[in-house]
Structures are given as C-alpha cells and as structure tokens.
A and B are shown apart, each in its own frame.
Chain A
Amino acid sequence: MSTGLRTINVKARTGTARTGGARRPFSVTRPRKSVAMTLLMVLFLVYALVPIIWLVVNATKTQGDLFSTFGLSFGHSFALWDNVVATLTHDDGIFLRWLGNTLLYVVVGAGGATFLATLAGYGLAKFRFPGRGAYFAVVLGAVAVPGTALAVPTFLLFSQIGLTNTPWSIIIPSLISPFGLYLIWVYTIDSVPTELLEAARLDGAGEMRTFFTISIRLLAPGIVTVALFSVVATWNNYFLPLIMLTDPDWYPLTVGLNQWSAQAAGVAAEPIFNLVVTGSLITIVPIVVIFLLLQRFWQSGLSAGSVKQ
C-alpha cells in the first residue's frame, strides 16, 4: 500500500520536474530556483558569519599570533586549549564564577519570568475579572517605555532597600516579560478550548488544578518559546547588572568580559586579549546551541508576536 502511494508521489514529482524546464510557465507558488538570488543571499550569510568565524579562528591563537597573523586565517600554533584553560583559571577562576552567576540569573530570572508570564497570560485569556482591561492596557503600554528610563530609578529604589550588589537586584527586574505575557495570551486563545475547562469545572476540579494538570500541557510549546526568549534576554543582559553591581564576584559574563576588555585596552593595559576572545566564544556557544536546537519554537514565537496585533 505504502509503496503504491510512494510510486504515485514519485510520478507526480517527476511530472512537475519535467514541466520544470526552461519552457515551464511562470509560477508564483513553485518557481524555478535562482542561482543569482542564492548568491545574493550568500552575501547576507557572509556578513552574519564573518565576525563569528573571526572569533572562532582567533580563539585558537596565542597573544603573539593575534597581533601578527591575518585575522581570518589560523596562526602558527593551535592554542585553543591553552586559551580555554587560561580563561577559566585567570584571576583565581573568576570566569567560572561569572558563568555560575549567569546560570543563576538565567535559571531563577528567566524561569520565574516564564512562570509569571504563563500564569498571567492564561488568566487574562480565560477569565473576565474586574480590572482586566486596564491590566492589559498597562502591561502592553509598558513595552513602549524604554527600559533604561526605569534603570536609574530602579537602582535608587533598590539601593534604599539594600538590594543593590546582590543577585536579587538582577533577578527581580528579570521576572517581568510583557512580551512573554502577550505571547501566552495569544497562545491560550488558540490552543486551550474553553469547553475543556468547563468540563473540568463540572467535574469539580479547582481552577489551579485544572491549570496545572490540563492547560499547562496544551500550552507547552508556547511556554518553551517564552522560556527561550527570556533565557536569551537574561543571558545577554548587560545594562542592568552594570548599574546594580559593583562587586565583580556577582558579575554575569557580559559585564565581566567587558571589564577584561577595558583592562586589555585601557591605559595601564594588561595584555589579556586572548582571554577576551576565548571568553567571548565560551559565552556565545551555549546560547547558539540552544537556538539551533529549538528552531521550531523561536520561529513560531516570532510569528505569533508579529502577526497578531
């Protein structure tokens, strides 16, 4: 049976292939492949990749090779391993400490942001309650408020209650993701049928129980999407920790790397360019891997965010 189907498929395909020669009439939905257009897009590809390739290549060079060899070709020696070891052990392993801090901020901050946004987005989509309209308007309006307009007053507030220079000063502001709330709202309307909730209610299940046993499963792809974007936002966060933290022991990778870079380029320069390059590479590898593994989610997430207004 299945072989039969496949033959038909193959026939159908060869059919299109035969008409797909030079004589085939123009088609919008199934056009001919264009080499010229592909080459044009290769320019985009090169633009996107050159800095990353540069980083990978130069993470393998010694300090001397960094200065003396061409940027996009390998150096005289292959020092990637030495550089990684030097990066991880420099200054009593402060880089590992920064990596740990970043993981802490990502797990608690982005995890919490995902949880809060999921609960609230679901609540807004499935219940009518007093103040719902205003709630929605205020949260979506907040997207237009520049985050940095809030940073200085947040710092002053936090310093008055003694939160600055602690992990909380990074985690608490990371807990809010208006974009995440919006995404879950859209997703709930699309994928959690009200009839299902009604049925659970008739069975006597409480709202919270229904949410945690039924709805959360239906929302899983949306939750992964929100988690992904929250993880990226927290992993890449720079401005907030820069303001809140003075103690290098609490720095995330971004602020720490920038400090190394300033040390390398500053007046009393300490030549640690190889550490900055290798550290940068180590910083982007996990996040790039996550993005490649979860392609399906960011593509659907961005489409939900852009299409439904």
Chain B
Amino acid sequence: MTTTPYAARTGHQEAGGATAAPAITIRRRKADWTGWLFTWPFALVFVLVFITPLLYALWLSLFQNQLVGGNSFVGLANYVTAFQDPSFWDGFGRVFGFLLIQVPIMLLLAMVAALAIDSARLYATGLFRVVIFLPYAVPAVVAVLMWGFLYSDNFGLTASINDWLGGTVLQPFARRWITASIGNIVTWEYVGYNMVIFYSALKTIPTELYEAAEIDGARGWQVVRAIKLPAIRGAIVIATIFSIIGSFQLFNEPNVLQPLANNVITSSFTPNMYAYNLSFAGQQYNYSATVAIIMGVITAVIAYVVQMRGSRKEDR
C-alpha cells in the first residue's frame, strides 16, 4: 500500500467549492470512480423504478392491443386519439381550472400566514407555526375521509349548518361545488406546508437589512414589499412548481370522495383518474400510458416555464 492512490485522489473535492488551481489539474488526471462506490445503489434502484417504467410507458404508448391481430405497432395513433378525446380534455380542463384558482388562493394564504409569523407581532408564534403545519402530517386518505364526513348530509357539519340556516344552502357534493370542495381539502392539507417553506426563506433574511430599513424610516408594508417578498422569490417559485405538479396529478382526493359523490365524480374526473381507470377498469394499458405521458410532458413544460420566468425576474 503506497500513498499514490491518495495522492491521485486529489479529485476528492467538495463539489463546486474547490480552489481554482487543483481544479485544473483534476481534469488532466485519470478518471476517479470512487464516487460511484456511494452512488451506485441509489442509481440502480432509480433506474429500476424511474427510468425503466418511463421508457416502458413510451414504448407502450406506440402500440395497440386489438382483438384481431393482437399487439401491433401503431406509431402515434394513441396520441392522436388522446388529443381528440373529450374525456381526456374534460379532465384536463378541470385540473387546469383547479390550478388557476386553488393554487393562488392556497399560496396567498400561506404567504399571509408566513408573513404574520415572521413579523414577530403575534402572541404564541410557535403554536401557530406548528398547528397550521399539522394537517400536512395527516394522510390524504384520512384528510378526505374527515372532510367527507364534515361535508356529509347525514352527520356532518354541513347538515348542522343547513339545519340552522333552514334549507340546503351548502351542497358540497353538488356538481357545481364538488371541485371547490376538493380544493378546500387540498388547501387544508398543504397551506401549512407552504407556509413553513415561505417562513424558512423569510428567516434567512439578515437582520442588518431590517435595521437599515428602519434607519431609512421604512414601515411595515414597505418592508414587506421591498425586502421580504423579493428575498423569498426563489421559495415562491419552488412552491408554485410543486403546487402545479400536485394539481395536475390530482387523484387521491377525488378518488376517495367518489363513493360519497358517485354521480358527480366520473371515471375521467381528472386525467390521472382517467389513466387509472383506463388501466384497471378497462385494461387499456397502451392508451393509459399515452394519457400518463401527455400529462407528464405538459406538467414538465409548465414547471419549466414557471422556473424560467421565476429566475429571469430574479436577475433583474
């Protein structure tokens, strides 16, 4: 055992943190594979549960399984079908509308709560921070079951409120209101999570900035607009992207609510429910994979656009 292996391994540098001089010599050295010692197990499972299914889905989407002739290559025919499929677009329109309304409301509420907690003007700040976050720990299934009970005509709060007001003012399961009812559940689940993300970003603002603002005579709202909001732009972009991805994937909430609102939540209520039902009720695996891929591409594109817009503003 000589010292050469170690000398040769000056390539062990902190990522991005290396000084300029050794960084140049590293490139000329022989490739150092030590890092794979740590990273191969993750990579192996990642290929198995991410890359392979993704490629498999792409492959599936190019075939059709017909009664006559069995499995045959059809090119992009499934995609053409999907683009003309009213069931798909119906669900897509629903989640898109959901995204346009629910995500801004939820993020705005989260922002208000985070700013309030960060303002140091509340009594019992810690209590608010923990309790508002708590719904995030509740499994989506349990969250929907709880809200489903609260919504229900039999023994929910809705029934009590309707009794009290006389008549049927609240109808959470009516066709007109079902999307709003689901939006409320999703907001309940994630408003605290987003609040903590915003709050964590707010906490990293250096105190000197506030002191300087104070000397300049800045007041509450001016501080929020001039210091706090610009400082957490990155966190807002991240939260927006995650919320967009979540909205497009909407499945658990409508799926669990379905038995309670049977005629209103159809099998193609969201694209994801559509893909699920195509597979597991209709055995149309090829078409289901196509729908999943289209939704994946649309999600990735929108997330990318938000990311680009968000970071461009940051440069200004």
**Chain A residues in contact with chain B, CB under 8 A?**
26-35, 37-38, 40-41, 44-45, 47-52, 54-55, 58, 66-68, 70-72, 116-117, 119-120, 122-132, 135, 138-139, 142, 144-157, 172-173, 175-176, 181, 185, 189, 194, 197-198, 201-202, 204, 207-208, 211, 232, 235-236, 238-239, 242-243, 253-255, 257-258, 261-262, 265-266, 273, 276-277, 280, 283-284, 287-288, 290-292, 295, 298-299, 302-303, 305-307, 309
Contacts and interface: CB of A to CB of B under 8 A. Distances in A.
Contacts of B15: 124-126, 128, 132, 185, 189
Given A128-B15, A129-B33, A194-B14, A48 B132 contact: yes
Nearest to A141: B300
Given A54-B146, A176-B42, A176-B45, 19 more contacts: A28-B218, A38-B121, A41-B113, A70-B160, A72-B157, A123-B38, A129-B32, A129-B35, A145-B299, A149-B293, A152-B57, A152-B288, A152-B289, A176-B46, A176-B49, A253-B139, A283-B139, A288-B137, A298-B196
B259 interface: yes
B214 A27 contact: yes
A207 B33 CA distance: 12
A72 B161 CA distance: 12
Interface residues of B, number: 123
Contacts of B38: 119-120, 122-124, 127, 207, 211
Contacts of B17: 189, 194
A51 B146 contact: yes
A222 B138 CA distance: 23
B146 A120 contact: no
5 shortest interchain CB distances as A-B pairs: A123-B38, A303-B200, A127-B35, A129-B35, A120-B42
Interface of B: 1, 6, 9, 11-17, 26, 31-39, 41-43, 45-46, 48-54, 56-57, 60, 109, 113, 116-117, 119-124, 127-143, 145-150, 154-157, 160, 188, 191-193, 196-198, 200-201, 203-204, 207, 210-211, 213-214, 218-220, 223, 234-235, 238-239, 241, 245, 248-249, 251-252, 255-256, 259-260, 272, 275-276, 279-280, 285, 288-289, 292-293, 295-296, 299-300, 303-304
